[in-house]
Structure 1
Amino acid sequence: MRSLKREILASGLSALKGNGNIEPHTYEEVETIANDILEKVKCRPQFGIICGSGLGGLGDLVSNKEIIPYADIPGFPVSTVPGHAGKLIFGDLEGKKVVLMQGRAHLYEGYAVQRITLPVRVMKLMGVSVLIVTNAAGGINPEYSVGDIMIIKDHFNVPGFAAVNPLIGPNDERFGPRFPAASGAYDKEFRELAKQKAKELGYDAFVREGVYTCLGGPSYETVTECRFLRLVGVDSTGMSTIPEVLVARHCGMRVLGLSLITNKCIVEHDSKAFANHEEVLETARMRTNHLQALAAAIVKAIKI
C-alpha cells in the first residue's frame, strides 16, 4: 500500500516542477496525501493556520504537538526562505484542534502556483474548515507604521491579471465550482471578531483593516509600482497568501487574513532607503508576541 501511494504521488507530481500553469493535482492525489498524513498523527484538525515570514513562533502556543517536516510529505513544496521552518505542527490551541504550517512556499522559489497551494487542499481533506493566513507585508498606506497588524478585508490579485491563478486547469466539483466568487473571500464575521479581540487586548493603536496585494517577487516593489498600488486602494503588499485564499474559498473554507507590516514601501524616487528581508524578520520578532496573542484569542472565540 505504501509503495502504491508513492507511485500515485510520483505520477501526479512529476509535472509540478518549476513555474507555469499546469494541471492541478487530482482529487485522488490530494486525498492520498491527506490520508498518509493522518495515518501519522492523532490530531484531527478543524483549524488551519499558515505562518508567514518570521511568524512561525505561533507554533510555540500549540500543545500536544505532533510535527511532520514538509520534506517528509510526498509532493509538499519545501520552503527555501529564511524565517520559514518548513514544518506541519498538529495539536491543541485554546481548546481547538489545529494544524499549523510553520512557513510556506512562494512563486518566486520556482514552484507552480498549483503546487504552493497544495497544502490548503490537503488541509481541507483532513477536515479543516477555517483557515487563518498570516504574512509579512510592506505598508503602502501612508498612515500605516512598521509593526502594525492589518486585518485583510479584500485583496488585489496582481498575478491573476497574467493568468497566474491556482484554479486554472481542469476543475473537480468535489473541491469546488468552476467559477467561484472571490468577493467576500475574507469572512466578515471573523474580521469583526478580530477587531473585537484586538480591542480587548489593548491593541487598538496598531491594528488596522485594509486591502492586501501580492506581487510575484522576489524583488521588492519599485517606487512607481508602489505609487500605482496606492492609487488603486491597496494598503499592504507581499508575495504570498492570495493563491492560498483562492483555493481555500474554492474548497468552501472560511478565511481570516492577518498582515504584519514589517516595512514601509518606498514611494519617493532617489530615496536612500531600501526594503530588505532582514528588516522584515526583525519586525516580525518585535511584534510576534502580539500577533500570537491575537491569533490565539481569535481561535478561542471562533465556534465551528
Structure 2
Amino acid sequence: MEAESSSTHRSPSLSQTSLPFARYSYEDYEETARWLLDHTDQRPDVAIICGSGLGSLADVLSNKTVFAYKDIPRFPLSTVPGHAGQLVFGKLQGRECVCMQGRFHFYESSNINMVTYPMRVFFLLGVKTVIVTNAAGGLNDSYNTGDIMIIKDHINMPGFAGVNSLCGQNDQRFGVRFPCMSDAYDKDLRALVKQTAKELGFNSGLHEGVYCMVAGPHYETIAECKALQMLGADVVGMSTVPEVVVARHCGIRVLGLSLVTNMVVKDYDSEHKVNHEEVLRTTELRTQDLQKLVSSLTSRI
C-alpha cells in the first residue's frame, strides 16, 4: 500500500542544511520515529539500506507500506540517480523489515549528520540489525566487475579529516562517548553470508575485504587509487561508513555488502573512464543475485 501524503510535514532537501556538523536533538529523531510508528503497524527489527541501483531489493518485501522521503518529518531527500527516495516497510521471509530505497551521501549536502539521520530513527523504531549495501569500485586486482564483497572492515577517509557524525556533544541515550569500531562489521553475520552464499551456489565472485570511503562526488584519480590500495583497501566508494559508525554507536549489528560495479583506473595509458551509467548497468545484472542472498540471510538472522 502507498502511505498517505502529509502536506504538513515537509522534509528539508540535503542542500538546505550545509554545515558539516549541524546537529539534531533527540526530540527531532523521536518526532520522525513517532510519525512512522503512527502511520504503520509494522515494527521492523531489520533495516536494509540500498546502494546505487540496488533499490529493487525492496521489491522482494511483501505486505508493503511505502513512504516517500518528502512526506516524512525531518527526513532528508535523495538527489542521486538510482536512488528512488522511499522508505518501504514490509515482510521478508516472514521477518519485519524496513528498506531505504535510496541513501544520502556527504557530497549531496556536506552535512554528515543529515546523511546519518535515518540510523538513529531506526534505533528508535527498534531495529536491531542493519544490512548496508553499496556500489563500489574494485581496487583489489583479484576482483572482477560484478563480484560481491562482504565488508570486514573500513577505512574512513573523511574521518581522518575530522568529518565524523559522532563529533559534538554526545547523547548517552544513543550510545557511549567513545564507541569501539574494531568489530564494526558483525563476525557472525559475515560467516552467515558465506554459508548462505555457498548454499545458493554463489561461491564464485564472493570475497571478504576492506571498504574505503572517500567523500566524492568525483571518481578517484589514478594516484589516489594506488594510494588506497597501498593502505589495504579492496574497494572504494562514497557512502556506507557514516551510517555504519552511527549504527554501531547505537549498538545495532551491521552487515555490509559491496557490489563491485567497475574496476578503478590505475593505468595512465588507459582510455577507460569510470561513469555512473556503468555503475547502474552492472547493478542491474547482479540485483537478482543480491535479492536472493539478502532474502535468505534475513530469515536466518
Q: Give the TM-score normalised by the residue count of structure 1.
A: 0.93
The one-letter code matched in structure 2 to 1:169 is: G
Q: Deviations over 1:125-171 (max 9, x none)?
A: 00101000000000000100000000000000000011111111111
2:54–2:82 Cα contact (<8 Å) kept: yes
2:131–2:255 Cα contact (<8 Å) kept: yes
Q: How many matched pairs?
A: 294
In the other structure, the counterpart of 2:158 is 159
In the other structure, the counterpart of 1:40 is 39
Q: Deviations over 1:249-269 (max 9, x none)?
A: 000000000000000001111
In the other structure, the counterpart of 2:287 is 288
Match runs of 1:78-93 below 5 Å: 78-93=77-92
Q: Deviations over 1:92-137 (max 9, x none)?
A: 0011100000011111112400001001110110010100000000
CA-based RMSD of the aligned residues comes to 1.7
1:152–1:209 Cα contact (<8 Å) kept: yes
Match runs of 1:1-304 below 5 Å: 17-302=16-301
SS at match of 1:25: coil
1:77–1:111 Cα contact (<8 Å) kept: no
SS at match of 1:146: coil
Structure 1 segments, 4+ long, off by >6 Å, are: 13-16
Measure the CA separation in 2 of the matches of 1:141 and 1:127: 37
Measure the CA separation in 2 of the matches of 1:21 and 1:226: 26
The one-letter code matched in structure 1 to 2:104 is: A
SS at match of 1:205: coil
SS at match of 1:189: helix
Deviation of 1:24 after TM superposition, in Å, equals 2.3
The one-letter code matched in structure 2 to 1:262 is: T
Q: Percent identity of the aligned residues? A: 53
SS at match of 2:210: strand
Deviation of 1:76 after TM superposition, in Å, equals 1.1
The one-letter code matched in structure 1 to 2:291 is: Q
1:105–1:111 Cα contact (<8 Å) kept: no
The one-letter code matched in structure 2 to 1:139 is: G
Deviation of 1:18 after TM superposition, in Å, equals 3.9
Measure the CA separation in 1 of the matches of 2:205 and 2:14: 44
The one-letter code matched in structure 1 to 2:120 is: R
Measure the CA separation in 2 of the matches of 1:19 and 1:112: 5
1:24–1:170 Cα contact (<8 Å) kept: no
The one-letter code matched in structure 2 to 1:231 is: M
Unpaired segments of 5 or more residues in structure 2? 1-7
